[in-house]
Amino acid sequence: MINDKYYNRRYVISGIAVVVVLVYIIKLFVVQIIDQSTKEKADNNALVRQTVYPSRGLIYDRNGVLLVFNQPMYDVTMIMREMGNDFDTLGFCEVLKIDKREFDSRIADISNKRKNRGFSRYTPQVFMAQLNRADVAPLQEAMYKFPGIALRKRTLRDYAYSSAAHALGSVGEVSPKDIESDDYYVPGDYAGRDGIEKTYESVLRGVKGEEILMRDSRGRIQGRFQDGKMDTPPQSGTDIRISLDIQLQLLAERLLSGKVGSAIALEPSTGEILAMASSPTWNPQILVGKIRSENYNNLLQDETKPLLNRATQATYSPGSTFKVLQALVCLEEKGIRPTTEYPCNGPQSKPIKCTHHHGSPVSLEEAIEQSCNPYFWCAFRDMLQKNGYGTDNTPFRERFELWRKDIIQFGLGKRFEDTDLSEQVSGYIPTSYLYDQTYGPKGWKAITIRSLSIGQGEILVTPLQLANEAATIANKGYYISPHFNTNDSMKSNKHTTSIHPEYFEIVQNGMARVMTHGTGRWYKLDSLEMCGKTGTVQNPHGKDHAIFIGFAPKENPQIAVAVVVENAGFGATWAAPIASLMIEQYLTGEIKRKWLFDRMANAVLNENVEER
């Protein structure tokens, strides 16, 4: 052996091992046999950490009116191993007012690992969830009789008004995807699932706290460890104030009841959403607590699709309301001049007939006032054909793209990205690519796409976009994306159009004339000057949709509105009055035309729409 010289060192190493073991054995001896205190500690002072859930942030409307608040709820939890063999099951059932059969079936569900993957006899399992204070009081008094049983306090939402269900959203249990993407959540937590509850989840949810409780060896809670010195208190969620005006919202929903459609009101200068109503809707209370899943399912199955937010997720042809935009673009691109006039032969006009009776020729303002189809066809045509067709259709197609570019500036054809509205669809403004594919690049001309001139054809918009459009016109050329928050964070996010302010003046005048002499004249307001545009949209599936956009007052506008009522008939008859009433209430504080209110609120156009 080469290293014989160090042979003795083996003893050093072995010696170290022996010494270490001896020391440990002595220590163990001390700890396990001599020192009794640890045994007592183990028995009496076992610590339990329990999550303390914070209260969720409250939601207020723009005037500080409370909309959404919290109500306390309790879960009954049990640690099965600690319940022991002589658990007073009957007494327990009595205190909770359930029968033995229900008790057994709940236990069976909990113990079923396929349904309850986190099951263990050693950790707290939820026996009954979401009991209110009254249900739980008898159990609280008798807790000492039931080892292994504990109460966990939770909060559920409560609503001051049975309104704004789509906008506010609801709170439900977190999904596995949420748990995966955010460490904060554990199964059984609640989080906002849609609407404002979801968009502002991280603000509303607060921070969970922790309390440390002492338990004896029988599993009964003995109190707080060190009087709560080491607890982490929960942090309540932050309250938020949203831009909705609850009175306006209530009015809108009332006016839409019995009908399918939506109404949106914005504050033009800031883009704040004053009201967003979609019908059919529901009472937000039904999606809270134990009844949530059943009710949610019912909503899902309902044929009228109440869960669809028709304000932001349903698309329609804008119909005649599109004409105001058409006017602006054609003016800007020099397709027409402010003084341009065109002939109109009423119902005999070709290629598009006019549905109104007025004189001829028609000026621009008059065309808006009377919603004259031939005028806008000619304007559109002249705008597109300004440079001719050339040999390969290119000048025309370029003009079309120019037209499209201008239209999109108003927020059409895409979602609003810089906003806190979560659920939107983008609508559609056709591209030259589409027509190239359908007809070939040389196969289409102005006449081919004539429906676009009056807002039919392939154009699709959402009511939200319509309201935003109205706001842009009210602002004479810019918009701020519609949003709910009331801080000023979006003030500088102006989207400006390239259209000259004086053209907006012209169009505004036309829209004012709509209300004084034109298609909306039955619904003007005496006290202030309102601007609007009606639309009656052809609908291959049934009766025409009624649409209206407008804003008021003309000088220094405070509110812009878009209303869509499906399958209703004339825009003037159904959509305009609703918008007018909303404007009246918002600007004057009351409704004088009670007869109109009654007529609109009580009209039932669709019997399938349930009142919830």
Partner 1 sequence: MFLLLAIFGWLNIYGASYTYEQTSIFDFSNRAGKQFVWILSALVMGGIILLIDSKTFDILAYIFYGAMIGILIVTPFVAHNVKGSYSWITIGPVSLQPAEFAKCITALAVAKYMGRYEYKLRDWKDLVMPFLLIGIPMVIIMFLQRETGSALVFLSFLLVFYRQGMSGFVLFAGVLAIVVFLIVIRFSIWPALILLVVIFGILVWRTWKIKRIYKWLLLLALGVYVAFSFGCNVVFTKILQPHQRVRIEVLLGMKDDPSGAGYNVTQSMIAIGSGQLFGKGYLQGTQTKLRFVPEQDTDFIFCTVGEEWGFLGTTGVLILYLLFILRLVSIAERQRDNFSQIYSYSVACIFLFHMTVNIGMVLGLLPVIGIPLPFFSYGGSSMWGFGLLLFILLRLDAARIEKMH
Q: Which residues bind partner 1 (CB under 8 A)?
A: 1-3, 5-7, 9-10, 12-14, 16-18, 20-21, 23-25, 27-29, 31-33, 35, 37-39, 41-43, 46-47, 81, 113, 120-123, 212, 217, 225, 230
Give the span between the Cα atoms of 193 and 174, in whole angstroms: 8
156, 68 in Cβ contact below 8 A?
no
Measured from the CB atom, the residue of 217 and 493 that comes closer to partner 1 is: 217
Reading the block at residue 237, the tokens are 């969620």
SS (H, E, C) 86-141: CCCHHHHHHHHCCCHHHHHHHHHHHHCCCCCCCCCCCCCEEEEEEECHHHHHHHHH
Question: Tokens standing for 349?
Answer: 């006009």
Tell me the closest approach of the beta carbon of residue 118 to partner 1, in angstroms.
Answer: 9
Taking the least distance from each CB to partner 1, the nearer of 120 and 387 is 120
* Nearest CB to partner 1, comparing residues 120 and 394: 120
3-state helix, strand, coil in the chain (%, to 5): 45, 20, 40
Find the shortest distance in angstroms from Cβ 29 to partner 1.
7
Q: What secondary structure does DSSP assign to 288-330, as a single string?
A: SGGGHHHHHHHHHH-TT-TTS-HHHH--B--GGGGHHHHHHHH
157 CB-near residues (< 8 Å, 6+ apart): 56, 68, 69, 70, 71, 170, 171, 197, 284, 288
Strands (E), 391-446: none
Nearer to partner 1, 219 or 306 (CB): 219
- Rounded distance, CA 87 to CA 107, Å? 14
Closest distance of CB 32 from partner 1, Å: 4
User: Which residue, 22 or 137, has its beta carbon nearer to partner 1?
Assistant: 22
- Least Å distance, CB 216 to partner 1, is 11
Closest CB to partner 1 among 33 and 134? 33
Which residues make Cβ contacts (< 8 Å) with residue 97, sequence separation at least 6?
135
Give whichever of 217 and 438 is closer to partner 1, judged by the CB atom: 217
Rounded to a whole number of angstroms, the minimum distance from the CB of residue 6 to partner 1 is: 5
For residues 262 and 293, the answer to whether their CB atoms sit within 8 Å is no
In the complex, minimum distance from the CB of residue 11 to partner 1, in angstroms, rounded to a whole number: 9
Q: How far is the CB of 188 from partner 1 (least distance, A)?
A: 16
Closer to partner 1 by Cβ: residue 183 or 555: 183
Q: Is 197 helix (H, G, I), strand (E, B) or coil?
A: helix
Shortest reach from residue 76's CB to partner 1, in Å: 20
